[in-house]
Amino acid sequence: MLSINSSKVSAQQNERKVRIAKIEIYPAYLDEYRAALATHAKTAVQVETGVLALQAVYDKSHPTQVTVFEVYASEAAYQDHLKTPHFLKYKSGTLKMVKSLELIEVAPIAMEIKPELTGNTKQ
């Protein structure tokens, strides 16, 4: 049973879509953009089964540079995410604030997270 369960977990993990989004924001919209992104990330992870994590940070030395570390359960979960009202609202609402956006498909090497880090929203 243990090996069967392990295989299931491993298959689920292999199906995951992990991505880094590098976003540059126009300086005039820094606060407004951060608020919109924070709200969007909170809603998406709370509401969508397939959005496993959205971690967003800004560079302290270059605050217009934002990085989002995204984990979806699968490509299908990500495609569903793109159709949600909260994503469409975030996307259209922040369009004028975003100077550039680069999406990088990545694969995990390690995904070590203490349980206490979950549910700690800075809202």
Applying CB under 8 A, the residues found at the interface with its own copies are 9-10, 13, 18, 20, 34, 37-38, 40-42, 44-46, 51-61, 66-67, 69, 71, 104-122
The dihedrals phi and psi of 6, each to the nearest 5 degrees, come to -60, -40
CB-nearer residue toward its own copies: 88 or 113:
113
The pair of structure tokens assigned to 106 is: 């990545």
Number of residues that make up the chain: 123
Residue (of 13, 29, 10) closest to 71 by Cα position: 13
State the minimum distance, in angstroms, from the CB of residue 117 to its own copies. Answer: 5
State the minimum distance, in angstroms, from the CB of residue 27 to its own copies. Answer: 16
